[in-house]
Chains A and B, each alone.
Chain A
Amino acid sequence: MGTAPASRDVTSYGMGLAAPLALFFLVFFVAPLLQLLWLSLHNDTAALHWGLGQYIHFLTDPFSLGVLGSTLLLGAEVTAVCLVLGFPIAWLYQRVGPRLQTIIILIVLLPLLTSVVVRTFAWIVILGRQGIINATLQSLGIIDTPLKLLYTQFGVVIALAQVQMPLMTLPLITALGRIDPNLDDASCSLGAGSWRTFFRIVLPLSLPGVIAGCTLTYAAAITAFITQSLVGGGQMLFMPMYLYQQASTLQNWPFASAISIIFLLAVLAVVSVFTTLGRLSRGFGGE
């Protein structure tokens, strides 16, 4: 067939065109990562003696493993809260008129338009001993003494969930929008109730969005240094702060590097579990 040479096959372009970006990544991403790895393989702070000491130290130290565990757990909790609260919002978005859609998308995006620091301080005001929640509950006579909300795991999860919510909601809105609304009607006309329709049709078909949302939320939640530190306070220690202390305060760069590498691998493991689950569920509707 004689087609006009309007669009060339993208694979026919020279690889050289990718060189600037490749160089950028090489210098500012690959090289530091390799340096980090190199640094972590030294037993002393001056990085003179090679060895796996830092890794052995981390993996045999109950305190370090505890920090890693609680960080991964924190991510799971935040992800779960975002999924449970974000799914109904995304579902609602697909079923309301265009005006309400604009309002919902604005509410979803609003957190992204304010600085993380500002949002986190707002949560301190809300959760504090004299904060909005405690003041309201006390004035209603529901509680006598203020609840401890700030500097608790609960507080950190709630604050992080609000901050990371757009990362969950946006992929879900996209995924739910791709589902043919006739499928709902078809399921219903075949005798299925709302719950069966949701679990057999809507949820499996929205899995690509669920997985994308969970991956983004999880990765963002466990690395959220500012919110974790400000709402968690001194009592709650998570990996980013632990790393910061080792590197900045204690100047133990090899150990901080080892923490980074272990954290990185742990996150990659969790993310690949998400992805594998998605593939196994063969929930990828359409082509």
Chain B
Amino acid sequence: MVEAQGGRSLVVDAITHRYPSGALAVENINLDIKGGEIIALLGPSGCGKTTLLRIIAGFIAQSQGRIIIGDDIVDALPPNKRAVGIVFQNYALFPHLSISENVSYGLAARGIDKVTRQREAQRLLELVQLPAMAERLPRQLSGGQQQRVALARALAIKPSILLLDEPFAALDKNLRLDMQIEVKRLQRVSGITTLIVTHDQEEALSMADRVAVLSHGKLEQFGSPSDVYDRPQTLFVNTFVGSTNRMPGVVVAADRAEAKVRLDAGAEIIARPAGGALSEGGRVTVCIRPEHLQFVADETGFAGVVGMSLPLGATVVHEVTTADGSGVKISQARIGETRALENGAAVRLAPLAPSLANAFPATL
């Protein structure tokens, strides 16, 4: 049995999994996770992130590759011997057992005596700020409270890895933020290496030390939240994380650091070759986030006509139709009295800086 302790490293080594039908669920995933890190597995539904979680937990045996926790290759261990704590999306509390019995369930399975079990359950319930709920049944608790219990139950076995499967999806918005803070606090206290599976990019960016973005079973990018947001390596990452304008164009000149792109919308701009080297004359998709565009008064940038303006509180989003007929969104911070833009006003737009426009080879 794996020695249970906080902060062990987790290596996902070339994991590939095929469904019995032969379809690939995940393909050659490599993640090197340091002890005590919080990692988010981010991707749309069906991208393979839950499959990867279940492989790490031991519920699914992968077709190829290895899972290494600390110094141990755990592939041969069944889930009940891996010392991996899981918080399920629906919490999966045992409905017929009291909160205290739920929390101490893993300790009972380890043959720990009743007195120690109860003391430990009480300590954990205090840790998740539910000390008075020990004798209640799960259905008598609110969603947020049930989640705290699920966390306490997973932490009770002193897992080496904590896996959270869409942990906040079932909570309403305000509670979600509270619980995210709570989970982060508990993770700091325990120092447990934590993996959060989520489709919510805000959650991934705000909670994780590093984010692994998955799409169609492949790892698109694994990096810090700012890397993923500001320096996306693939078009998928750029469009899935945050919102972005996709503008087609042709490469006029390119080197490793910069590419000059003639946009179909009618301007030459400097962009960062994000997905590797670009060749001259090749079609590219340039991604510019709405907040990285500005209105310019001179003749630089590309022309457009303002369609709709949406005041979204702190920012105002304008939809601009460019010369080639595509729509571009630009978001401006609302500083004092923002310049009102008439519907149909002619404007020119340009990126704030060349590094903020990412050029990817166009896919057909």
Contact = CB atoms under 8 A, between A and B. Distances in A.
Interface string B339-358: 00000000000000000000
B48 interface: no
Interface residues of B, number: 29
Contacts of B84: 189
A180 B90 contact: yes
B105 interface: yes
A182 B154 CA distance: 14
B80 to A, nearest CB: 5
A20 interface: no
B80 A284 contact: no
B109 A196 contact: yes
A193 B80 contact: yes
Most buried by B among A182, A188, A191: A191
B24 to A, nearest CB: 21
A190 B153 CA distance: 8
A188 B92 contact: no
Contacts of B109: 187, 190-193, 196
B173 interface: no
A61 interface: no
Contact of A180 (B80, B85, B92): B92
B96 A182 contact: no
Interface string A185-222: 11111111100100011001100000000000000000
Interface in B315-357: none
Interface residues of A, number: 23
A62 interface: no
A192 to B, nearest CB: 4
Interface string B81-98: 111111010101111110
A205 B92 CA distance: 13
B139 interface: yes
Given A190-B153, A205-B96, A285-B95, A182 B139 contact: no
A164 B188 CA distance: 58
B96 A187 contact: no
Contacts of B157: 190-191
Interface in B64-108: 78-86, 88, 90, 92-97, 105-106
A177 interface: no
B57 interface: yes
Nearest to B95: A285
A200 B97 CA distance: 9
A204 B96 contact: yes
Contacts of B81: 191
B105 to A, nearest CB: 5
A189 B105 CA distance: 11
A283 interface: yes
B263 to A, nearest CB: 49
Nearest to B82: A189
A262 B198 CA distance: 63
A191 B90 contact: no
Given A182-B90, A286-B139, A287-B139, A189 B57 contact: yes
Nearest to A186: B92
B91 to A, nearest CB: 8
Contacts of B95: 205, 285-286
Nearest to A193: B80
A282 B80 contact: no
B51 to A, nearest CB: 14
B96 A189 contact: no
B88 A185 contact: yes
A52 interface: no
B80 A186 contact: no
Contact of B80 (A189, A200, A286): A189
B94 to A, nearest CB: 6
Interface in A231-287: 282-287
Contacts of B94: 183, 186-187, 200-201
Contacts of B57: 185, 189
| Interface core residue of A186, A189, A192, A196 (most chain B CB under 10 Å) | A189
A191 B92 contact: no
Contacts of A187: 94, 105, 109
- Interface pairs A-B: 9 shortest CB-CB: A190-B106, A182-B92, A285-B95, A192-B109, A186-B92, A191-B109, A188-B79, A189-B86, A182-B88
Interface of A: 180, 182-183, 185-193, 196, 200-201, 204-205, 282-287
28 contacts: A180-B92, A182-B92, A185-B59, A185-B79, A185-B92, A186-B86, A186-B92, A186-B153, A187-B94, A187-B109, A188-B59, A188-B80, A189-B85, A189-B86, A190-B80, A190-B106, A190-B154, A190-B156, A190-B157, A191-B81, A191-B83, A191-B110, A192-B109, A201-B94, A282-B96, A285-B95, A286-B95, A287-B139
